[in-house]
Structure 1
Amino acid sequence: MPTNTVFTLPAGLLDETSAEATEMKPVLENLITAVLNKPYSTKITDLPAYQALRTQEAAYQGRLAIAIALAMHRCGDDYRVRYNLGDLLGALMRGTLGLDEAGYLRLFTLYGLDFSQPASATPNFWPFPVGLTLAQVGRLAKKQGALSPPMLDLLNNLLLHTTGQSGDVGKVSLKVQEILSLVGGAGSLPTVLFADGDPFGQQLNRFVAGLAPAAPATARWLRLLQLWQKANAGQPTAKLRQELAAAVAAVGPEAVRQQARQWLELLAAMPVLEETNTVNYESGRTYTYTSYVYLVEANAVVAKGLVWTAQPLADAALLHLLGNLAVKCYRKIPGKGPLAMGLGNAALLVLSQCGLPGVSALARVRPKIKQSNTQELITRHIEAASQELGVSPLEIEDMAMPDFGLKAGRAVIDFHEYTATLTLADGRAEMHWEKGGKALKTVPTALKANHATALKELKTTLAQAQQTYTALRDRLDRSFVEERRIAWPWFEQYYFQHGLMGELARNLVWRLHRADGTAQDALWQADAGQWQDAHGQPVPAPAAGTELQLWHPVLAPAAVLAWRGRLEAAQLRQPLKQAFREVYLLTPPEERTATYSNRMAAHVLKQHQFNSLAKLRGWKYSLMGAYDKGYESDQATLALPAHGLRAEFWVSEVNADGAWNDTGIWHYVSTDQVRFVRNEEPVPLPDIPPLVFSEVMRDVDLFVGVASVGNDPQWRDNGGLAQFRGYWESYSFGELGEVAKNRRGALERLVPRLKIGRVSEIRDRFLVVRGKRRTYKIHLGSGNILMEPNDQYLCIVPDRTARLPAGPGAPDVFLPFEGDAVLSIILSKALLLMDDDKITDETILRQLR
């Protein structure tokens, strides 16, 4: 502000005939002029004119407050004057005003709160002075113990019109509830009311209405529910934590825990309603859009208070519910982003503060949440918990792994004369029932009637065991690149003997680094009770000085075939691809380009599918849109902290007419280089550890192999971009990548054991099937089909839920790793086409004619 600028009062601003205005006109002229002309950095409270009036008695300051409100009422649209008057009034309100109820009612009327007029039944008011004035009324109510009927009428009307609002208006509602609770008289109950715009608020109101007025716990419950409406911040303050703890202690922790379970179950199960809205403009134009309704904003605040309250009460059931709620809150809503990020953040915060069980829950939900920033948030939570316990983040995740009472893949739970057995086999958690040694097909009816709660907890345990197993398997699969070595005592406790992780670790090959500097690769053989090498020879058991590292084929290429043969001979199915893992070695072209690889360049990917896969594998990527950014390329990145590296996979938008969706996100991206950087400088590829290079390239090959448009049999015929149809054909039937080569090796062993073996053979990159009508060539990479003799394309939309064939002879069909989706699709297509004379689907028959 220039120093020579002087602001003057608007004409007529103080021409008010009331006693307060007449008395205070000279004071206000001086005060407001000083406020309008003060430097921006100077506070109102530092002005000499303001400090002089603060020495006056409270009644004087009350009259001055009314005079300021009158001036605000007269200043019209002059926003600058109104804003400064509001600041001045706010400063006064933070002191003590000597006004009676009539004076405060006058202030409320000047603010626009005149509920006596129908036109102002829902007043539009400025919550800043209203909230501060309510604080004055609250002090007056506490002093008097009662309020007059006119003031009570105004407060009840204000509560009616602010309930369910958020932000500062929501704080007004909460303050009104507190004042009404103060003046209710001896034995009166706190006033609590929630927005009824969603099932959560409706259930809370029903709970309040169902509380018995005379019951001692009623007032305590209402006090707790009131506190939840204060959960406006990102984290609870120390004061709010103390208030919540005291309120929970007053109600009873177990009662709050049981009720919290019901409300959290509701929040996790509540539907997200999709509503279509149309706006009609005066010009005749209309605009239609879709909105998604889950929680109204005021109830999202209340739900956050509930979640914060659950932290000291969290048992296994609450942790499970909080994890489910977090996953739901980060569900992506078109055009909006996460469904309820604030509530989701609150759930993650609480999990992070629940010790090892909470960290375990965080590890379970992390793979289900795709947002990169939320993944980073979870990582920070785990790092903070590890620092508190004095261990590394990887070690705390080891320590946090629950075993659910499993021993050797089994946990037995007795229910009187019934027995439930939780089993974990081939990656599936199942519950089996028996009575007196006789197996039962379903849960006993008697238990459903008399032990409903216990059965519900058992069902939760089953779900958690399955989720944890999957999370641990994925964690191990992503851990190859870390090249982590684990000391045997730690490994024995948290891997080998662990009830859940043991089911994974015991079926994997480990490199045993001995204290003398030697290393041996070994697999635990349970039937022999010993560690053995790839040839079945015993290996000395690990000792205290031994460190174990997850074995990778790139560590010992010469031993890969021996390990594969060993697994097949022992009929041992590994929980993840290890011995049969694809290996990517540096090629001569990559040695020549030095700092980048073009091996995975020039592919066209479906961007949303690529994004999902990248997040699943721990990569960071943001969808590219046609609306901002200002550049045409971006990167998916993978942090490699164990090596001080970052991998980058460059992609570019595919810009074509209509090549974006309704929210402006490009449908397709084209692929480019893969690079590694350290301290923002490119690192020569020969300097990258071979295992790291192989795993990164495997991820990128997965992205291309799954998200490429070449894998979509309908892409060409359903409007796929014309300029990329040549790419679609070359990819659909071109050379095989490493994944497809592995698939061919599996099919070479598998097909002769199936009934398609008599009419099928592997030829180069195809599974060739001789049907009754035609001969078919199924590509081993894409699963797409050509028909002989003229290589006519046959479009068959695959069943993505297909699994390996079952039935007679199925026990002889063995894969030492879980079959991939394309492998199952190839086999299902082969089974269909070998009996092509029995096909009844008209869309297929038209192509065969």
Structure 2
Amino acid sequence: MGLLDKIKQAFSNTVSSVTSLSESEFDKVLAQTHAEQKRLGGYFWGMKLNSINEYANNVVNWDDKKKIDFIIYCIVEIAKFYREIKSYSSSDENWQKIAVAEAYLAQLFKTKLTINEDDLKRLIEAFLQNKKWDWAALNRWPVLAMINQLSRQYKNGVPEGMLEPLTDIKNVFEKITDHYLQKEKLKIIEKINALLFTSIAQPEEIKPTLFLGEDRFAMYANNVINNLPLNEREIWYQLIARAIKASGAKPSAKYLNETKVLFKQLGVDKFKSIVNDWFAFVIGLKEITTVHNSSGYSYSTSVFLNGVSVDAIKGFVWMCAHFHDSNTLNNLAKLAERCYKKMPGVGPVAAAIGNACLFALFTSKGLDGIGHLSRLKLRVKQASAQQTIERYIEQAADDKGVTIHEIEDMAVDGLGLIAGKRIFEFENYTCELHVTGIGKSELSWIKADGTPQKSVPVSLKDQQSTRIKKIKEVQKQVDVATSAQRDRIDRMLRSSRKMSMDYFNEYYLNHGLISFIAKKIIWNITISGNTVSVIKKDDEWVDSTGTVVLPEVGALISLWHPATASVQEVKQWRNYLISNQIQQPLKQGFREVYLLTEAELNTRVYSNRMAAHVLKQHQFNMLAKTRGWKYALMGAFDNGINNGSAQLQLPEYGLKAEFWINEVAADDAFNETGIWNYVATDQIRFTRIADGEVVNLIDVPALPFTEVLRDVDLFVGVASIGNDPNWQDSGGVVALNTYWRAYSFGDLSELAKNRKEILEGLLPRLKINKVAAIKDKFLVVEGKLRTYKIHIGSTNILMEPNDQYLCIVPDRTKTNVSDNLFIPFEGDAGLSVILSKALMLADDDKITDKTITSQIKTR
């Protein structure tokens, strides 16, 4: 007789004895519990028994033997119902009775329940005999709760008679392949293995605990552990055992203290070396996407890490809260950013790890961790993560007794730079790192005699490869940091913040990294009540006429904004920037200004200036979050059209800006996850944070008003479907074609008007100046074959003489032509696209791309 036959026979005998002795009583308990829950009007799905008299006054008083008999009876009844019933509803009384039985299963295994060898055999036999009916195998049965009972009862190991049934059920779990059950499955197997090991191991023996499952991280990390000496492996086993149990939002003090003791035994440097290597592995990990085809329907699933690996990595990230070295903090920041990146149909690939990284950065000693959080605030788009980051930064500021602006200033790492340069000395060579622009830097090598070396010296590539790799890593950090600080300072233009000159000199002007940005920005200096706008030139402050200004002791300094300056002063600064070839790291001197219009004075509390546009919702969402706005994607699963809004907090003014958005529910225009592809824009309003009351636009200060409208103009200018050159040929919603053409070649927005002014200054210096001219809202280029009108707003093109549309999709892999032109600010991608198209079309007879030439030659 085989093992399965023995189980079946034993189970039949067990069920027979249970049903003959207790069936009527157990059935009565289920019936009375059902009736009482029904009288109470409660739900049966996931019902709780603590408030049920039948449980509290009767079942809870049974001895353990009778409770186990009842559990087995419930298992049989549940299995019988799902085997025999093909369909049911929540109002079906038979199903309600089974829901009661499931509630008793869950409840009784949560209470203290002594289980002996015979009891365990009967329970496992019952589970195994009835596993086939359930689509999720053993998912419905509370096996984990049973194993937890045994772990609490048999701390020093289970009796020998329990080893075989525990092994049997473990073997069944190991065969489960359902992706959604992997985390539960692996945790149950690990708990069973722990029971089995404790039962047969020597008292001093340490259980070999590795990462669970077979995902790519587990295989990689386990291989690292297996290649270590035995004494080190045993410490890692203990660390992993604690890490895989990591749960909750934050670690307990006990967890942090216990793990610290362990990794100190191992050696802190050894621990950090391996953990940072694991973090780097996860940072570089790509999700695996599988396409499925079923009954003519195609869909895809993506996998990054299994749930148990996520918990384990989270546990090790928590351990790193003890560290504050730059390498670990930098890896934690990069790991957070990687784990918050979204995976199609899933969301962030591993938000739990990302949250743990934020905690570790916040908890680390010093301010370097806060500096990383400040940068991540600009990079991470997930709303809950942004809220967590903001909360940590606010807490750090409170702890220091400073403002949020000040804590972020104090936390900026100079990365060893002095005035935008860092020198690395080698024998016979010097390597210089220079910041050359926002997100750009160069490494140059110099020989001992002072002559330049074109590339990394061959002699150093082998001998100093590790150090050279570190230098390149520093270069990457510098590039990321200049971009982040530029964006942070750009957001400060919403503020009327003032700083003392001493403070400004320390954290801006003389800061190794930020000085590169600060010296190209226009500042206001207030001296004895008088304010003058200045910029740094040759280590001196000068005004827009080039006159030297000497700040007095006690002077205050703040960012200059064209919205608070006269038209004449703005023109002077623009002329100064152009004549002195100063390229600002952000658009300041040429920044768009939005003043109240007559229409807005009439509507009083809202602006329709940016209304009635159609935006690509996902692109709009990304742009909004990049600028610090809060927005939730709207989906087709909502009934009807659901109005939403993007919101920006302006706490300095006690205001909140709202940009109203409506879904565009045309032609089922939503993606496979049910999110609308397009949204329509509506009003802009300002409300008071304190009471939510709408504020008259005339009462909104100039800075927040102009910056909010500028943001919204940016959202429209980038995310509008009118900017898509492929719209008509890509299957875009036909009903929106009228809007697409109206926007593509319509009136210029403030952003586009500003771009036009820049083009007017650039055009005389371009090689195409004799065949190109600005006419109204177009840059008109006379090619050899045809004349082209490039719209200065959308960058789309019409060809004369019949205004035929020309579709050209920019090649993002090619060099940006504006890199070789002086533009007085960085960051206008649209301007670069216009210049690229103009230069190409001026020589249209040399174009070889057939997708373009076929359009040009068709009339």
Gap change, CA 1:390 and 1:170, over 3 Å in 2: farther
* Other-structure match for 2:713: 701
Q: How far has the Cα of 1:456 moved from its partner?
A: 3.0
Distance 1:629 1:380 in 2: 34
Conserved? CA contact 1:530–1:541, under 8 Å: no
Q: How far has the Cα of 1:175 moved from its partner?
A: 2.8
* Other-structure match for 1:220: 235
Distance 2:380 2:31 in 1: 56
TM-score by length of structure 1 reads 0.86
Distance 1:44 1:185 in 2: 47
Alignment pair present for 1:546 and 2:562? no
Indicate which of 137, 142, 150 corresponds to 1:126.
142
- Range with greater deviation from structure 2 (472-481 or 174-183): 174-183
* Other-structure match for 1:404: 415
Distance 2:400 2:323 in 1: 21
* Other-structure match for 1:577: 587
Report Cα offsets for 1:761-796 as digits up to 9, x if no partner.
222222222222222222222222233334333332
Aligned residues: 806
Distance 2:382 2:501 in 1: 36
SS in structure 2 at match of 1:817: coil
Gap change, CA 1:243 and 1:169, over 3 Å in 2: farther
Distance 1:806 1:200 in 2: 43
Conserved? CA contact 2:525–2:551, under 8 Å: no
- Range with greater deviation from structure 2 (388-397 or 449-458): 449-458
Distance 1:45 1:328 in 2: 52
Distance 2:523 2:262 in 1: 52
Conserved? CA contact 1:654–1:670, under 8 Å: yes
Alignment pair present for 1:188 and 2:200? no
Q: How far has the Cα of 1:85 moved from its partner?
A: 5.6
Distance 1:370 1:275 in 2: 26
Gap change, CA 1:766 and 1:158, over 3 Å in 2: closer
Indicate which of 819, 823, 842 corresponds to 2:850.
842
Percent identity of paired positions between Structure 1 and Structure 2: 39
Indicate which of 251, 257, 267 corresponds to 1:242.
257
Alignment pair present for 1:372 and 2:387? no
Q: How far has the Cα of 1:254 moved from its partner?
A: 1.2
Distance 1:105 1:262 in 2: 43
Gap change, CA 1:408 and 1:126, over 3 Å in 2: same
Gap change, CA 1:593 and 1:321, over 3 Å in 2: same
Q: How far has the Cα of 1:29 moved from its partner?
A: 11
Q: How far has the Cα of 1:722 moved from its partner?
A: 3.8
Report Cα offsets for 1:742-776 as digits up to 9, x if no partner.
22222222221121012222222222222222222
Gap change, CA 1:122 and 1:630, over 3 Å in 2: closer
Alignment pair present for 1:501 and 2:514? yes
Gap change, CA 1:192 and 1:518, over 3 Å in 2: same
Indicate which of 750, 765, 780 corresponds to 2:762.
750
Structure 2: 5+ residue stretches without partners = 1-11, 41-48, 82-97
* Other-structure match for 2:824: 816
Q: How far has the Cα of 1:847 moved from its partner?
A: 3.0
- Range with greater deviation from structure 2 (712-721 or 249-258): 712-721
Q: How far has the Cα of 1:600 moved from its partner?
A: 1.6
Q: How far has the Cα of 1:446 moved from its partner?
A: 4.0
Distance 1:792 1:122 in 2: 63
Alignment pair present for 1:434 and 2:446? yes
Distance 2:584 2:834 in 1: 22
Alignment pair present for 1:653 and 2:663? yes
- Range with greater deviation from structure 2 (293-302 or 815-824): 815-824
Indicate which of 564, 568, 571 corresponds to 1:555.
564
Gap change, CA 1:446 and 1:310, over 3 Å in 2: farther
Structure 1: 5+ residue stretches without partners = 1-11, 54-60, 280-284
- Range with greater deviation from structure 2 (595-604 or 710-719): 710-719
Conserved? CA contact 2:186–2:212, under 8 Å: no
Distance 2:624 2:802 in 1: 38
Gap change, CA 1:70 and 1:423, over 3 Å in 2: same
SS in structure 1 at match of 2:127: coil
Conserved? CA contact 2:287–2:302, under 8 Å: yes
RMSD: 3.6
* Other-structure match for 1:179: 195
User: What aligned pairs does 1:80-91 form with structure 2 within 5 A after superposition?
Assistant: 80-81=100-101, 83-84=103-104, 87-91=107-111
Gap change, CA 1:803 and 1:80, over 3 Å in 2: same
Report Cα offsets for 1:683-712 as digits up to 9, x if no partner.
111111112111111111111212222222
Alignment pair present for 1:593 and 2:603? yes
Conserved? CA contact 1:802–1:821, under 8 Å: no
Conserved? CA contact 1:711–1:732, under 8 Å: yes
* Other-structure match for 2:46: none
Distance 2:622 2:601 in 1: 31
SS in structure 1 at match of 2:494: helix
> What residue identity is the alignment partner of 1:822?
G
Q: How far has the Cα of 1:461 moved from its partner?
A: 1.6
Alignment pair present for 1:139 and 2:155? yes
Gap change, CA 1:295 and 1:771, over 3 Å in 2: same
> What residue identity is the alignment partner of 2:279?
L
Conserved? CA contact 2:72–2:123, under 8 Å: no
Distance 2:773 2:17 in 1: 103
* Other-structure match for 1:454: 467
Conserved? CA contact 1:134–1:175, under 8 Å: no
- Range with greater deviation from structure 2 (740-749 or 225-234): 740-749
- Range with greater deviation from structure 2 (759-768 or 450-459): 450-459
Q: How far has the Cα of 1:563 moved from its partner?
A: 1.2
SS in structure 1 at match of 2:769: helix
> What residue identity is the alignment partner of 2:216?
P
Distance 1:773 1:89 in 2: 83
SS in structure 2 at match of 1:267: helix
Q: How far has the Cα of 1:341 moved from its partner?
A: 1.8
> What residue identity is the alignment partner of 2:211?
F
Q: How far has the Cα of 1:295 moved from its partner?
A: 0.6
Gap change, CA 1:302 and 1:698, over 3 Å in 2: same
* Other-structure match for 1:8: none
User: What aligned pairs does 1:139-538 form with structure 2 within 5 A after superposition?
Assistant: 139-141=155-157, 150=164, 153=167, 157=171, 160=174, 169-182=185-198, 183-185=200-202, 188-212=205-229, 215-279=230-294, 285=295, 287-354=297-364, 355-427=366-438, 428-436=440-448, 437-514=450-527, 516-525=528-537, 527=538, 529-538=539-548
Report Cα offsets for 1:504-559 as digits up to 9, x if no partner.
11111111233x3322222122x2x321211111222252x322211001111231
> What residue identity is the alignment partner of 1:367?
L
Distance 1:749 1:194 in 2: 62
SS in structure 1 at match of 2:155: helix
> What residue identity is the alignment partner of 1:550?
L
Conserved? CA contact 1:531–1:538, under 8 Å: yes
Report Cα offsets for 1:226-275 as digits up to 9, x if no partner.
11110132222233222222222222211110000111111111111110
Conserved? CA contact 1:606–1:709, under 8 Å: yes
Q: How far has the Cα of 1:224 moved from its partner?
A: 0.6
Distance 1:509 1:710 in 2: 34
> What residue identity is the alignment partner of 1:416?
E
TM-score by length of structure 2 reads 0.85
Conserved? CA contact 1:571–1:814, under 8 Å: yes
Distance 2:166 2:737 in 1: 74
Conserved? CA contact 1:229–1:305, under 8 Å: yes
Gap change, CA 1:629 and 1:537, over 3 Å in 2: farther
Alignment pair present for 1:828 and 2:832? no
Gap change, CA 1:130 and 1:107, over 3 Å in 2: farther
Q: How far has the Cα of 1:474 moved from its partner?
A: 0.6
Distance 1:122 1:765 in 2: 66
> What residue identity is the alignment partner of 1:602?
A
* Other-structure match for 2:753: 741
* Other-structure match for 1:9: none
SS in structure 2 at match of 1:225: helix
Gap change, CA 1:738 and 1:796, over 3 Å in 2: same
